[in-house]
Structure formats: structure tokens, C-alpha cells
Amino acid sequence: MPPLASSAPLPPAAALAEAQRLLDAGLPFQAHEVLEAVWKSPETDPGERGLWRGLAQLAVGVTHLARGNVKGGVAVLRRGAANLIPYADRPPHGVAVPGLLAWVDLRIADIGRAHPGLPCITARTAPADGGPRLVG
């Protein structure tokens, strides 16, 4: 599916519903575009920009992971989560911020188990990530 043609952002409730529909359809990049349009809109409440930025970053992080860019995907998921943290106690628009933060933590942990650090062949001590030490 190509990017959305509309450059006008949707109202918050509609943007969240559309982004979720796109995520459910396996189209995280398109969901990112919907969320990014709200984030960058001059009409968006400045106090909510971090929320929309964080949501857009989560969607683009999922896009990176789907395309095989594990390192980039994890980095963007972490940035997205960091942008959502300030909204955890009082999430605007009914956004499930605590659930999203927990989801990011679980995904990153899953990725870490699926893609462990490479062994350090010449180090005298174990690598910082706890990977195996083959020599030393």
C-alpha cells in the first residue's frame, strides 16, 4: 500500500483509529505517516507533540524490524518509548501508554534473546553484553 495521499492530519481519535487499523493490517509505515501528520501539525497541542512523536516512532520502529533492520528498529522503539514516558500517568486521548511501554520492553527483550551479541574472540574478559569469551 502506498503512503497516504492526504497531507492534512486527522483529528486525534480518527488518527488513532486509522493508525491502529493500519498496524493491524501489517502496514506500520502507513500508520507512522498518519501519526507523524498529527505530530507535525501546527494545530496539535504543543503539550501532546511528544505523545504523537513517540507513537510515530513506535510505528517506524516496527517498520524497521519488519524490514530486517534489528539495530535500527530497537533504537527507534527506545526513542519512541522515551517520548511516551511523560504521558504514562495521564495518557491523552485514551492512548494505552503503560501498555505500549510494556510492549516495547517485551519486544526488545524478545529481540535480545533472538539476536544475542556476537562472541568476542580476542577479549580477555567477557563482553559487556555477557556473550561468550572464546579466548583469554
Mean pLDDT across the stretch 88-111?
94
Identity of the residue numbered 128: A
Cell numbers representing residue 28 in the block: 506500520
Query: Which DSSP string do the residues of 20-43 spell out, in sequence order?
Result: HHHHHTT-HHHHHHHHHHHHH-TT
Q: Per-residue pLDDT for 70 more than 80?
A: yes
Of the chain, the percentage scoring pLDDT greater than 90 comes to 74
- How far is it, in rounded angstroms, from Cα 36 to Cα 128? 36
Q: What is the pLDDT of residue 5?
A: 46
The distance between the two most distant Cα atoms of the chain, rounded to a whole number of Å, is 60
Alpha-carbon distance values, 31 to 36, 74, 113, 123, 132 (Å)? 9, 18, 27, 43, 39
3-state class of 84 per DSSP?
helix
| Residue entry with cell 527483550 | 109
When pLDDT is cut at 50, 70 and 90, the band that residue 2 belongs to is very low
For the segment 121-131, what is each residue's pLDDT rounded down to a tens digit?
A: 555 544 454 44
Query: Tell me: the pLDDT tens digits for 39-52?
Result: 999 999 999 999 99
Residue 23 CA to residue 34 CA, distance in Å, equals 11
Residue type, 24: D
